[in-house]
Structure 1
Amino acid sequence: MVQTITAKYPTFRNLALKTGYLWLAGKRRDDGAEGLWRIHDTLYDLTEFADRHPGGADWIRLTQGTDITEAFETQHVRNHAEQLLPAYEIRRAQVPRNVRLTFSEQGFYRTLKRRVADRLSDLDQRPARISEFIQDSLLVTTFALAFAAVQLGSYLVVAACGLFLAWTIICAHNFFHRRDNWRMLIFNLTFFSYREWRISHVISHHLYTNSILDLEISYFEPFLCWLPDASQKNHFQRFGAWIYEPLIYVVMFFYELGKRLIDTLYYRSNTFYVEDLIGFVLPVFMYVTGSSSLKTVLTMWFFIVLLASFAFGTISINAAHHHPESVHSGDLIPKDIDFGIYQLATIIDCSESKGSQFKSLTRFGDHCLHHLFPTLDQGLLPQLYPVFYETCSEFQLKYREFPWWRLIIGQFQQLARIEPMTYVPSKMSSSH
């Protein structure tokens, strides 16, 4: 048994300012990739391939000098990419992998991935088009409500606009996992950046969930401490967070902007791009199409962003990961645990999001399958449950799902938890 999936404590993890780019810089020091791209125990030079990468060049350029094993495995369901690798091989890595997650050919994840790959051509693709329709409808509704709020001077409509804005950017998360597309830009309607989140969410959180490598854990420390480490959180952090946590939800969007401004002005590491101007499209639209003063428009927009931030935080933080039965760094897990089994250990799905594509897209639903196959449209995931359940049964694994209220209560319990648990895959509680 081990307590963490990494051999080294991540470089730069304890810095006060945490960004995706600093996280990548730390991985370049820790991963033994020697300035190249590491996949398993082999080094590759993907420089010339970057511009030909079907998913977009950013994925390749961002990760130079790091171990991309988990990203490579999860973002390529079929084996086409694996067949291209020999052309870019340089040499064997000189040091063992820092991350202890494994991908045995006969292990759970690769077995499931082969079966899913065999199913892909037979999947009904219509739900993917429905996902696009839902995303576009949410976007239009958000702008319609913003227009109505100004025209009517109604803060009740402002509240509805804030909720739809939160749903809109949660849904947009379905699209920034994939190859470059225009819908991923919708994520920037708030002060969030899809570029930053492709690091913090896709490359960090999705691959190293609930671990010390998970930026979505370290971002919130020392205010929200989910890792069960008695030496790292006092009684106020354990129980006071139950009171002040909703305030953190409210300022999440503004914190993201402030963090990037500090990174730019103090550390001279500019992370702003032209698409960040998308964040000002909504207030400009409200001012141009309305008859209210600039002060009124900005006040309404401010409250829209506050309410959207609160809704986003409430949904995202209580979606699937933080429950006393979910594995976090500090808990005991099998040594060299299979990547797929580790994901099952860290995720408890919300049962109420099942069976509704709208709920799945706006509440981070079908979360376990989404972590296992993030590049597949979320609308397609329900078709994979039969093969997923079958493979879990074959490997004697428990897939867990709870109602949302249990996940919310469990999240507060996890903030208070300091005792490590031992994860035994076949003995965890389950609704199946």
Structure 2
Amino acid sequence: MASFSTQDISLSPTIITKPPAFRNSYFKTVYRWLDYKRLEDGAEGLWRIHDTLYDLTQFIDRHPGGAEWLQMTKGTDITEAFETHHISNVAEMFLPTYKVRMAKEPRNIRLTFDEKGFYRTLKGRVAERLDGLDLHRKRHSEIIQDSLVAVSFFLAFLAVNLNSILLAIVCGFAICWVMNCAHNFFHRRDNWRILVYNMVFLSYREQRISHVLSHHMYPNSVIDLEITLFEPFLCWLPEPLGFFKRYVSWIYEPVVFSAIIFSEFSKRIVELLLTRRNFFHIEDIVSLLLPIFMYATSSCGLAIVFKIWLITVISASFFFGFYSKNAAHHHPDVAHAGDLIPSEIDFGVYQLLTVIDRSNVDDLELNILTSYGHHSLHHMFPTLDHCLLPQLFPVFLETCAEFHLEHRRYPWWRLIMGQFQQLACVEQKTHYVPKKDL
């Protein structure tokens, strides 16, 4: 980011105004995060967008993206989600129909959307170019994901019939790529391809909360579930930590990654037992397809099938954690909660502060889909297919240059090393942006 004098600029170590009660919870789940958010967002049981409350109840079943998005966000502030999920102004034109009143409390989030700021400027330019995009590229994404699903089942067939641990690990890697590709689809309106994310006992519904509504809107903050759900085992925020959490975590991090799938599935069961609320849905049957297929297409006993399936799932979990935590966000050069940033900051500028793109994944569509390519653009316009993003890259760079903002791209090895450095980081850093771009 461009340097400037900090005189007369208020700095803050957080983008929220209230201490997040959720972070101190002894048992963290995505559903409890939503419950806490309803208490802290000042939405008064309605839907809050900026400083206005709306009653979208009558619109739920007509929502083009699917009813679930509005059902799960009732009672919360959806400003960031609304801005990033509606690139054109069509949805904004309909909002007055559902207006109830102004909110009583100021927003808990300090991110801004000034009409002349960086994000709104970029959003307007992207909206103008949407009609000119080569939409056939979206078909490429579908072919890639469908092919990876087929490859995963074929590798599972080989692994169980040859009783091969190595092939089971390779199958787990392929399933990780399937889940990474599914990430391209669960950001968007309901579609059947999001179901493959559930192949190994994870839930796309939960991912829509932890990844879309939490991480994408507030990356690297104390309300980013992709940080808080890993605490106290992995701590990427610059806080006073002992030697064990700072350095021994480098050693046990692979174990944590390997346990992600089983941990999240187990928490759903515990949450069900504690609250009597059902967090399982018909699409969870998808998780049984792989082991059933392995058993049905082999002459092996149940013990061998279970062994190969277990190794496959553990491998998929490890690779999924490795890819996601080394993708863009955890490097000492990006902002984390605890670092000082302007207390009022443009949403798009904040995204650039918390993201470093990988320089080696933006060439092939397979790399873009499986390795979270064009990450900065994706954070700002998550509903756009990943394979469309390269066409918008020139206008993105043009707007960054106009606002004197730096788009950073590092090799993957540098981001991997940086992720370990960030685990050990306890020093508070200051991240500067030009005052006009706040």
* Common topology (TM > 0.5): yes
Instruction: Report how far residue 151 of structure 1 moved.
Output: 2.1
What is residue 135 of structure 1 aligned with on the other side? Answer: 145
Residues 222-261 of structure 1: pairs in structure 2 closer than 5 A: 222-230=232-240, 233-261=241-269
Q: 1:357 aligns with which of 358, 362, 365?
A: 365
Matching of residues 339-418 of structure 1 within 5 Å: 339-418=347-426
| Corresponding residue for residue 430 of structure 1 | none
Query: What displacement does 1:161 show?
Result: 0.8
Instruction: Normalising by structure 1, report the TM-score.
Output: 0.97
Q: CA deviation at 1:273?
A: 1.1
Question: What secondary structure, in the 3-state scheme, does the structure 1 residue paired with 2:279 have?
Answer: coil
Work out the number of aligned pairs and report it.
425
Counterpart of 1:53 (choices 35, 50, 63) is 63
Q: Is the 8 A contact 2:118 2:348 kept in 1?
A: yes
The answer to whether the aligner puts 1:334 opposite 2:379 as a matched pair is no
Question: Higher RCO, 1 or 2 (CA under 8 Å, sep at least 6)?
Answer: 2
Alignment deviations for residues 312-346 of structure 1 (CA, whole Å, 9 cap, x no partner):
11111100000001101111111210000000000
Q: Which residue is equivalent to 1:191? A: 201
- 8 Å Cα contact 1:11-1:27 kept in structure 2: no
Residues in 1 aligned to 2:29 and 2:372: alpha-carbon distance in whole angstroms: 23
Shift in Å at residue 70 of structure 1?
Answer: 0.2
Cα deviation 1:152-183 (Å, max 9, x = unaligned):
22222212211101111111111000000000
What is the DSSP-based 3-state SS (H/G/I as helix, E as strand, rest coil) of the residue aligned with 1:6? Answer: coil
Task: Report whether the alignment pairs 1:17 with 2:27.
Answer: yes
* Partner Cα separation in structure 2 for residue 55 and residue 181 of structure 1: 9
Aligned to 1:29: 39
TM-score (norm. length: structure 2): 0.96
Once the two structures are TM-superposed, the CA of residue 426 in structure 1 deviates from its matched residue by 5.9
Q: How does 1:105-254 map to 2 (within 5 A)?
A: 105-230=115-240, 233-254=241-262
Contact 2:180 2:370 in 1 (8 A): yes
Matched to 2:101, the amino acid is R
- SS of the residue corresponding to residue 21 of structure 2 reads coil
Unaligned runs of 5+ in 2: 1-10
Give 2:4's aligned residue: none
- Greater shift, 172-181 or 358-367, is seen at 358-367
Does the alignment pair 1:103 with 2:110? Answer: no
What displacement does 1:206 show? 0.2
CA contact (8 A) 2:176 2:320 kept: yes
Distance in structure 1 (CA, Å) of the matches to 2:287 and 2:143 = 22
- Name the stretch that deviates more: 4-13 or 369-378: 4-13
Q: Distance in 1 between matches of 2:419 and 2:238?
A: 12
Structure 1 alignment gaps of length 5 or more: 428-432
Say yes or no: does 1:276 pair with 2:284: yes
Q: Separation in 2 of the partners of 1:28 and 1:41?
A: 15
Q: Secondary structure at the match of 2:285?
A: helix
* Alignment partners' CA distance in 2, 1:135 and 1:100: 37
Is 1:289 paired with 2:297?
A: yes
Give SS of 1:90's match: strand
Please say if residues 32 and 95 of structure 1, whose CA atoms lie closer than 8 Å, have aligned partners that are also in contact: yes
- The structural deviation recorded for 1:16 is 2.1
Q: 1:266 aligns with which of 246, 260, 274?
A: 274
User: Could you tell me the percent identity over the aligned residues?
Assistant: 58
Q: Is the 8 A contact 2:113 2:347 kept in 1?
A: yes
Contact 1:11 1:29 in 2 (8 A): no
The answer as to whether partners of 2:14 and 2:343 remain within 8 angstroms in 1 is: no
| C-alpha distance after superposition, 1:33-91 (max 9, x if no partner) | 11110000000000000000000000001111110000000000111100110100011
Task: Indicate the larger mover: 154-163 or 31-40.
Answer: 154-163
Partner of 2:3: none
Pick from 281, 305, 315 the counterpart of residue 307 of structure 1.
315
For 1:83 and 1:165, the matched residues in 2 are separated by 41
RMSD, matched Cα: 1.1
